[in-house]
Structure 1
Amino acid sequence: MTAPTELYGLAAGLVIALVTAPVGVSGAVFLLPVQLSVFGVPSPAVTPTNLLYNVVAGPGALLRHRREGTLGGPLVRLLVLGTLPGVVIGAAVRVFAVPGATVFRLLVAGLLTPLGLWLVARTLRPARTPPRPEPSPRAVTALALVVGIVGGIYGIGGGSLLGPVLVGRGMPVAVVAPAALASTFATSVVGAGAFALLSLTGSDVAPDWSLGLACGIGGLIGGYLGARLQPRLPDRALRLLLGTLAMAVGGLYVLRGLV
């Protein structure tokens, strides 16, 4: 890659992580269409490139959450327990069964767009009925397993899917965000290792190292700053941001799926 492209990648990673880290989203879900459309990273190499971004960028936000004392608790363990086996399964599916991404984009759009609309509407006009109970530990782990498989297939980490669902079920953003980021980081480390092993089979799944590292360094800085902003933002604003991001991702993936 040329130096200007690496600088653009660094800037893209920084801005995306700065906006998404406060709500527990690594930013890889936004970076995926940017890598495909702007930087021209081919499929399926875009998946390990995105996982590389998460591996490099993740410690920034996690370090800040650890300093704030919010990185811990049972939710982190439940999400990691589900996502780790899921990402290994997803990596194998990506290499051997699902080289294309059009159906995935439309499915993600179909999930996130109405979920984001619902979350924004619920935040702006709270329901008068009692809030729904938080999901059970078994349901959280099952959800994390499914998200881990999706993350392994498409390299999006999973926070963009876990966050809206868990927050929509009544869990506070301050609890969900660090747990989702921790599971995304763990998933990405395992996923990157799985792709490295799968590349030994002769599959063309090597990441774009220079671009992935550049985006990751930007995400490392932006994630730290975004996590530092989170305690200063009210839960209502964070819910609105999460819902808006979900709708934005859905719109991006509709456009990518139709072209």
Structure 2
Amino acid sequence: MDGWILLGGVAAGFLLAAVTTPVGVSGAVFLLPVQLSVLGVPNPAVTPTNLLFNVVAVPGALWRYRRGGALRGELTRRLVTGTLPGVAVGAAVRVFALPGPAAFRLLIAALLLPLGLWLCARALAPARELPEAAEPSARALTGLALAVGAVGGLYGIGGGSLVGPLLAGRGLPVARVAPAALAVTFVTSVAGATAFALLSLVSAGDVAPEWWLGLACGAGGLAGGYLGARLQPRLPERALRLLLGALAAGLGLLYAAQALA
């Protein structure tokens, strides 16, 4: 693979991870159009390449959050514990040909676009003191994790981009939500990347990831994610909510455009 393409992958991974990691989003979904349009990754291989990016990149942010103590607590533990069986269920159900990618993307767009706009509106509203929302019940967290894990298993996406906006919309501080959301993304991505690697052994199509490009993007994301996690405590909650809302709305628009294309 051309060295300039690999260098572009490192730069793209670094910039996206540095911007998105403070709010618990790995940046992989925004890396997808870059891979398709700029880096020339074939369409079937772009999903496992994105998952490989997550596997390599997310540990940088998780390590930084762990050093600061942000990964400790019931929120992260319950989300990760519930995600694992959810991924297995989603991967098993996929063989029964549930609604195709277009229907799924429209559903996610209908969820994330208004939620992102609402988060932005709240972040831009006049400042006022609001009591911190209580953490959801153990049953609610487990149910959310199972659902997000199943979506990850069905469609091969990291779950952090869904968990983060949902919990922040409920009122939890983004500084608490982001580490847990990235942990969910890492778990779903490891499971998804493993599944695609196994499928590549028995499939004639472009199922395997673009290994060198995925590793290059991941290396950039590893450094960018660490930087983003280190900068997060210096960012005010209002700025974090505005960024998360903008990313959620942008993700909703991206999914809607893909579904209608």
User: What's the counterpart of residue 141 of structure 2?
Assistant: 140
Q: Name the CA shift for 1:100/1:174 in 2 (closer, same or farther; >3 Å).
A: same
Contact 1:80 1:187 in 2 (8 A): no
Distance (Å, rounded) in 1 between the aligned partners of 2:180 and 2:131: 25
Structure 1 position 230, deviation (Å): 0.3
User: What's the counterpart of residue 166 of structure 2?
Assistant: 165
Distance (Å, rounded) in 2 between the aligned partners of 1:145 and 1:76: 13
Contact 1:52 1:213 in 2 (8 A): yes
Structure 1 position 200, deviation (Å): 3.8
Amino acid across the alignment from 1:179: A
> How many residues align structurally?
259
Contact 1:22 1:229 in 2 (8 A): yes
User: What's the counterpart of residue 23 of structure 2?
Assistant: 23
The answer to whether 1:220 aligns with 2:206 is no
The range that moved more, 107-116 or 185-194, is 185-194
Distance (Å, rounded) in 1 between the aligned partners of 2:234 and 2:142: 30
- Report the identity percentage: 70
User: What's the counterpart of residue 209 of structure 1?
Assistant: 211
User: What's the counterpart of residue 199 of structure 2?
Assistant: 198
Q: How does 1:91-170 map to 2 (within 5 A)?
A: 91-92=91-92, 97=97, 101-125=101-125, 133-170=134-171
Structure 1 position 240, deviation (Å): 0.8
Distance (Å, rounded) in 2 between the aligned partners of 1:92 and 1:36: 28
Q: Name the CA shift for 1:223/1:12 in 2 (closer, same or farther; >3 Å).
A: same
Q: Name the CA shift for 1:5/1:103 in 2 (closer, same or farther; >3 Å).
A: farther
SS at match of 1:44: helix
Structure 1 position 179, deviation (Å): 0.9
Amino acid across the alignment from 1:222: G
Aligned Cα RMSD in Å? 2.5
Contact 2:132 2:173 in 1 (8 A): no
Unaligned runs of 5+ in 1: none
The answer to whether 1:234 aligns with 2:236 is yes
The answer to whether 1:4 aligns with 2:4 is yes
User: What's the counterpart of residue 177 of structure 1?
Assistant: 178
Structure 1 position 162, deviation (Å): 0.4
Contact 1:60 1:224 in 2 (8 A): yes
Structure 1 position 196, deviation (Å): 2.4
Contact 2:133 2:172 in 1 (8 A): no
SS at match of 1:45: helix
Structure 1 position 32, deviation (Å): 2.5
Distance (Å, rounded) in 1 between the aligned partners of 2:204 and 2:138: 37
1:251 equivalent among 225, 250, 253? 253
Distance (Å, rounded) in 2 between the aligned partners of 1:156 and 1:102: 14
The answer to whether 1:56 aligns with 2:56 is yes
Distance (Å, rounded) in 2 between the aligned partners of 1:178 and 1:132: 17
Distance (Å, rounded) in 1 between the aligned partners of 2:201 and 2:143: 30
Contact 1:167 1:176 in 2 (8 A): yes
